[in-house]
Amino acid sequence: MTEHEQVEWEAIEEDETGLSRRELFVKGGLLTAGAAFLGSPVAAARAAAKSPAAAEASSTFAVVTHGAGDAFWAVVKKGVLKAGKDLGVKVNYSESFNNPQKQAQLIGTAVARKPGGLVVSAPNPSALKDPLRRARRAGVPIITINSGVQAFKSLGAITHVGQTETIAGRGAGQKLKAAGGKKLLVIIHEQGNIGLEQRYSGAKSGFGGKTSRLQVKGVSDISTTTNQIKTKLRADRSIDAILALNPQVGVAAKDAAASANSKAKIATFDLSSDVIKAIQRGQMLFAVDQQQFEQGYLPIVFLYLYRYNLNTVGGGQPVLTGPGYVEKGNASKVAAYARRGTR
């Protein structure tokens, strides 16, 4: 309870420069702790003294992810921009290329510009402790997305929007096992990404059978990645199931399997129009869809609600956007959305 009160109180403090002060004052009659504070004559006087120009300054919502300029994060970015447009708020999106130090710095930059709210992905929560503490001290509401479901509370975020990687991995492993797989190869495409490790361990436990991992060069060099997978499949003919953790790598795995004459069943995390095409043609079994558009769109909506009405979403629990599965049955419906880059 005290933590909840803390959050509300901070929000009102922040409202010194906030965009929704007047609206909050008028419509916030039902708010308990917040209303009591705002209703005090002091707060009302302070509210009246505020200039609209100052309110303008904090209406930007900043999004700082660990994305690496790839297709997946491009969809998240589209979600962010669409939400900003739909709600008429300014948004600012930046990526740290999976470098925690850089992400900490980008958060610092965002906070210095006094945003109305902050959205971060937290694959390495330890690294974000200090900059997010500074954000909280400045009264900036925080929402975590994508990675960091186990840490969003300790980081002081309102909620987390994403999928639980271990559960999604387990689901994928189980599906590949059900399809008759005996020996699974999981392709790891980034060297320092904790989320990928969680998917791997989830897939391993879900699959049950023999599971191995292959570290590949990654999305920055797909042709080398394809060769690495091909070599592995040539070297070990008994691999009959492949799980890629990124759509571009999934397509690379499909191509590699074809040229290595491997009959392995292929599944991937996340969608792209190429992945959907491959599923429709039966070259790929399924894709684990975490609907990352929502991971960009929803936090902006949540922050907007928080600023406008001091509403929180999730009730202290994360908001899950996945895992959903795209298979032959539903692939054609999703295809149109993937083509325009929002799935």
| Angle, CA 97 vertex, CA 292 and CA 211 arms, to 5° | 70
Binding track over 100-119 against another protein, x by CB under 8 A: xx--xxx-xxx-xx------
Among 46, 134, 182, 217, binds another protein (CB under 8 A): 134
Q: Does 98 bind another protein (CB under 8 A)?
A: yes
Q: How would DSSP label each residue in 70-107?
A: SHHHHHHHHHHHHHHHHHT-EEEEEE-TT-HHHHHHHH
Among 190, 255, 270, 289, binds another protein (CB under 8 A): 190
Q: Does 191 bind another protein (CB under 8 A)?
A: yes
Q: Which residues contact 306 (CB under 8 A, 6 or more apart)?
A: 11, 117, 141, 158, 312
Q: Which residues contact 16 (CB under 8 A, 6 or more apart)?
A: 46, 50
**Closest to 15 measured CA to CA, from 118, 97, 138:** 138
Q: Which is nearer to another protein, 144 or 291 (CB)?
A: 144
Q: Rounded distance, CA 227 to CA 135, Å?
A: 44
Q: Does 126 bind another protein (CB under 8 A)?
A: yes
- Cα distances (angstroms) measured from residue 190 to each of 64, 99, 102, 194, 217: 19, 11, 17, 9, 7
- Cα distances (angstroms) measured from residue 90 to each of 21, 50, 115, 162, 185: 18, 21, 10, 23, 43
- Strand, coil or helix: what is 19? coil
Among 36, 39, 192, 333, binds another protein (CB under 8 A): 192
Q: How far is the CB of 134 from another protein (least distance, A)?
A: 7
Q: Which is nearer to another protein, 124 or 268 (CB)?
A: 124
Q: How far is the CB of 217 from another protein (least distance, A)?
A: 12
Q: Does 209 bind another protein (CB under 8 A)?
A: no
Q: Rounded distance, CA 85 to CA 73, Å?
A: 18
Q: Does 56 bind another protein (CB under 8 A)?
A: no
Q: Does 99 bind another protein (CB under 8 A)?
A: yes
Q: Rounded distance, CA 218 to CA 209, Å?
A: 26
Pick the piece of the chain touching another protein (CB under 8 A) from 6-14, 189-197, 269-277, 294-302: 189-197
Among 46, 47, 81, 92, binds another protein (CB under 8 A): 92
* Edge-to-edge strands, sheet with 210-215: 210-215, 183-188, 241-244, 265-269, 286-289, 324-326
Among 33, 81, 87, 194, binds another protein (CB under 8 A): 194
Q: Does 153 bind another protein (CB under 8 A)?
A: no
How big is the site for another protein, counted in residues (CB under 8 A)? 31
- Strand, coil or helix: what is 298? helix
Q: Which is nearer to another protein, 91 or 310 (CB)?
A: 91
Q: How far is the CB of 101 from another protein (least distance, A)?
A: 6
Q: Which residues contact 244 (CB under 8 A, 6 or more apart)?
A: 187, 189, 250, 252, 253, 266, 267, 268, 269
Among 10, 16, 197, 274, binds another protein (CB under 8 A): 197
Q: Rounded distance, CA 253 to CA 231, Å?
A: 11
Pick the piece of the chain touching another protein (CB under 8 A) from 1-9, 79-87, 194-202, 272-280: 194-202
Q: Which is nearer to another protein, 132 or 251 (CB)?
A: 132
Q: How far is the CB of 95 from another protein (least distance, A)?
A: 7
Q: Does 91 bind another protein (CB under 8 A)?
A: no
Given a contact cutoff of 8 angstroms between Cβ atoms, the answer to whether 57 and 50 are in contact is no
Q: How far is the CB of 211 from another protein (least distance, A)?
A: 14
- Strand, coil or helix: what is 269? strand
Within 213-272, the residues that bind another protein by CB under 8 A are 215
Interface ranges with another protein (CB under 8 A): 69, 92, 94-95, 98-101, 104-106, 108-110, 112-113, 124-127, 129-130, 134, 190-194, 196-197, 215
